[in-house]
Amino acid sequence: MSGTATLARCLGAARTFGRGAGATVALQPTDCEVLAGEHIAVVGPSGSGKSTLLHLLAGLDDPTLGAVEWPAIGTRDELRPGPVAMIFQGPSLMPPLTCEQNVALPLVLAGSTDREARERAGESLARLDLAALADKLPEEISGGQAQRVAVARALAGTPRLILADEPTGQLDHVNGAAVVDALLAAADHAGAAVVISTHDPAVAARLAVRWEMHSGRLTTSAASEEATAWSR
Ligand SMILES: Nc1ncnc2c1ncn2[C@@H]1O[C@H](COP(=O)(O)OP(=O)(O)OP(=O)(O)O)[C@@H](O)[C@H]1O
Ligand SMILES: [Mg+2]
């Protein structure tokens, strides 16, 4: 397998929170990799380590053992803004900024001019059918719309790897399906890999690869029949 196709890789990566008797092993030593263009579901009970693993793959947290690498991207300093985008569990838009400003902010922080950032933010919102919300504040839109704006923000920087932590967790099935539709369509448009943690079997079934977590242990499996049927 070509190393250049590996976007992110855990090499015996583990994460323990706290020390001594009060320590929690959130992730046991784990080997896994995300290849270019892959669609991966991370499933498992609450507290099994899904968010911990996604944060390590995003380079937002350090393993306490082992290592995380991004062979096709570069060093941890090169992940953001740009190649790796994270969609967080729960609301993440900045309340005082409009939807368009929220989507544009990472681009401005990455060095785009205000005008360029606004243009790209507008395009990203339009791709997710959210152009009408550009000037609204987060408090003026629904939870499902806010999740889609967060997807638009993640995609505006044309990432190669999108890590989405329960992006449908607070939504009903219809809104959840709309968010996943938008995420997969936009990811495919950009040729990006997606890793989605989810409690929703219907979401997991739409992704070709399944990672299962139990008590901080990861087991991986190939495409389920259901997922294969979806991708046909
Ligand atoms: N910052 C932290 N400090 C201490 N313990 C933590 C911290 N973050 C996570 N943990 C613990 O690590 C374990 C794994 O948590 P994690 O958030 O990764 O689970 P999860 O699978 O994402 O759960 P959920 O489905 O509820 O989001 C849990 O026991 C949790 O309590
Ligand atoms: Mg979580």
Q: Is the pLDDT of residue 90 over 90?
A: no
Nearest CA to ligand 1 atom 26: 46
The pLDDT value given to residue 222: 58
The answer to whether residues 162 and 187 touch, using CB atoms and an 8 Å cutoff, is: yes
- Asked if residues 183 and 162 have their Cβ atoms less than 8 Å apart, the reply is yes
- pLDDT band (50, 70, 90) for residue 185: confident
- In this structure, of 107-111, 160-164, 174-178, the range with the lowest mean pLDDT score is 174-178
For the chain, domains (ranges, CATH) are: 7-15+25-93+159-231 (3.40.50.300)
The whole-number pLDDT of residue 39 equals: 94
**Which residue is closest in CA terms to ligand 1's atom 1?**
17
Which bound ligand lies closest to the C-alpha atom of 27? 1
Ligand 1 centre to CA of 26 (Å) is 6
Compute the distance from residue 47 Cα to the ligand 1 centre, in Å: 5
* Binding site membership of 24 for ligand 1 (Cβ less than 6 Å): yes
pTM beyond cutoff 0.75 = yes
Instruction: Give the pLDDT confidence score for residue 129 in this predicted structure.
Output: 86
- Using the 8-state DSSP alphabet, how is residue 70 labeled? B
Extract the tokens encoding 135: 């000037």
Q: Which residues pair with 15 in a beta bridge?
A: 27
CA distance 42 to 54: 9
CA of 1 to the centre of ligand 1 (A): 32
